Chain A
């Protein structure tokens, strides 16, 4: 069964199965991911809509992070991790058109092209042990931005985008690891934004932060709505409800992770079809 994630305007009036939206960013078909021969995720049929926020929810150990990492091929870094089935990135997310959809399963895939369009934020803030400026300058220089004036402008813009500019403008040369946890996470977001991606993958971006810093980062994610395609893994159901347009529920069945239900946030939280989804979103299970 292939379920489609769809815009709310259509979804409110139609059943999800009959909706077909062409404006997707990722399309997974019969995806299976295994570590050292052991399947951790299978039968994943999932469309992730463009310029919407999709939350991946479900209990720990059901493959959400693994799935997220397959979206920018970070699974390459896991020894003996194999990804089967079809996983496509729509050509629409690229600035230059006409190259067709990107097959993320292809061994010849240009991961640089992929990762410049798909940024990632991790659970624990991971600024590089360099100055604040160098954290942002490094990816820019790596991808060909050398002009000092342009570098300065793009660094300032991305820091302003995450509300960090006023806090750090006078100490750009200081080491980034001296920032608070919340500031570090916002810097990591700025570092992803500085490459002007279209898609942001977020792996529990607020779970390692104190409640106040988490709220700031969550507001920030809200502010990116409509401009970016965001895929966020979260264990915080209230956060999923506040942030997401669409939700995919991951669950372990017969020993492997699967996607058991997808839909708009209203469908999943108010009219869940699957009994496990219902128990999970009501806080009874998982």
Chain B
């Protein structure tokens, strides 16, 4: 029996309202954060802020060494996590038996749930001490790679296994090799998921503070190599707002730089993956 029309309409109206409210508050929150950063941080921004080292414990001067350190840490993290993650995801979808696959997936999920401070302690023990890398950008980047890895593997794997079985069957029926099938058909189809994993990984790596304090350290000089200690932007923000009186303005300005860097590197990743994964052009 149909409900009275007015009742149905009222319910539709309220459902729509709730959904709009939900979406609206997410947008409002984002706008608030960005607006707050802009308002409080933009006054401190200048060309010098981006190109000079800090002085007076960060109250004046710029954040140039932190930008360099952050980019190095991110580069090492991605250069390790992306190939490893892709290989692990391919192993899970193409090779692993059901039992092995389940075991690896459980481990990855457990790894993803480990708090970052624990990764910091682990990275400190393994990379800084056991492997003798000390407090360095290399230690920090590798620790972040361990942290980001489960994220990259799981999103990439989801993308790979979503590639239509019909495509795989079609390729097999034409006796295409596994390598050709993967390279030409499966990877391009899984590219969007790969990208999501990469973007999430970049976000997590750039935002990380706790794991880096124990591994890359917080020396605020220009790093001379990846074996030097280097302070990331996120640690700089933490230090300015917690340990430096009257450091708040600079903390806001640094946060603004970090957000811009985040958006820029995610855009770069999007562009890069589309370039890389495009199927090669046909021969005329």
Question: How many residues of B sit at the interface, in one of the four size bands?
Answer: 20 to 34
Contact in complex: B174, A195 (CB < 8 Å):
yes
Contact in complex: A128, B282 (CB < 8 Å):
no
Task: For A74, list chain B residues within 8 Å (CB).
Answer: 169, 172-173
Task: For B279, list chain A residues within 8 Å (CB).
Answer: 130, 134
**CA of A111 to CA of B178 in the docked complex: distance in angstroms?**
12
Check A77/B177 contact, CB under 8 A, given A129-B188, A133-B282, A148-B284. no
**CA of A32 to CA of B202 in the docked complex: distance in angstroms?**
52
Task: Give the contact stretch, choosing among B6-14, B36-44, B160-168.
Answer: B160-168
Those of B120-166 within 8 Å (CB) of chain A: 164, 166
Q: Mark A64-103, 1 if CB is under 8 A from B, else 0.
A: 0000000010101101000000000000000000000000
Those of A182-225 within 8 Å (CB) of chain B: 188, 191-192, 195
**CA of A72 to CA of B175 in the docked complex: distance in angstroms?**
10
Task: For A119, list chain B residues within 8 Å (CB).
Answer: 173-174
Residues on A facing B (Cβ under 8 Å): 72, 74, 76-77, 79, 111-112, 114-116, 119-120, 122, 124, 126-131, 133-134, 137-139, 142-143, 148, 151, 173, 188, 191-192, 195
State the Cβ distance, B81 to closest chain A Cβ, in Å: 28
B170 an interface residue at 8 Å Cβ cutoff? Answer: yes
Question: Is the contact region of chain B dominated by helix, strand, or loop, or is it mixed?
Answer: helix
State the Cβ distance, B193 to closest chain A Cβ, in Å: 15
Can you list 30 A-B contacts with CB-CB less than 8 angstroms, sorted by A residue number?
A: A76-B172, A77-B168, A77-B169, A79-B98, A112-B175, A115-B172, A115-B174, A115-B175, A119-B173, A119-B174, A120-B173, A122-B173, A126-B166, A126-B169, A126-B170, A128-B170, A128-B171, A129-B185, A129-B188, A130-B185, A133-B282, A137-B282, A138-B174, A139-B175, A139-B176, A142-B177, A142-B180, A143-B175, A148-B284, A188-B170
B283 an interface residue at 8 Å Cβ cutoff? Answer: yes
By beta carbon, the residue of chain A nearest B185 is A128
Task: Please name 15 further chain A to chain B contacts, defined as beta carbons within 8 Å, in addition to the given A115-B174, A115-B175, A151-B283, sorted by A numbering.
Answer: A74-B169, A79-B98, A122-B169, A122-B173, A126-B164, A129-B188, A130-B184, A131-B282, A138-B174, A138-B180, A142-B176, A173-B282, A192-B173, A192-B174, A195-B174
Check A129/B174 contact, CB under 8 A, given A134-B279, A142-B180, A151-B283. no
B66 an interface residue at 8 Å Cβ cutoff? Answer: no
B189 an interface residue at 8 Å Cβ cutoff? Answer: yes
Contact in complex: A124, B166 (CB < 8 Å):
yes
**CA of A85 to CA of B176 in the docked complex: distance in angstroms?**
27
**CA of A143 to CA of B180 in the docked complex: distance in angstroms?**
11
State the Cβ distance, B284 to closest chain A Cβ, in Å: 7
Which 8 A-B residue pairs are closest in the complex by CB-CB distance?
A115-B175, A120-B173, A126-B166, A126-B170, A139-B174, A112-B175, A134-B282, A133-B282
Most buried by B among A127, A129, A143: A129
Check A148/B283 contact, CB under 8 A, given A115-B175, A130-B184, A142-B175. yes
State the Cβ distance, B160 to closest chain A Cβ, in Å: 15
Most buried by A among B167, B184, B185: B184
Contact of B174 among A76, A77, A142 (CB under 8 A): A142
**CA of A130 to CA of B278 in the docked complex: distance in angstroms?**
10
Those of B235-264 within 8 Å (CB) of chain A: none
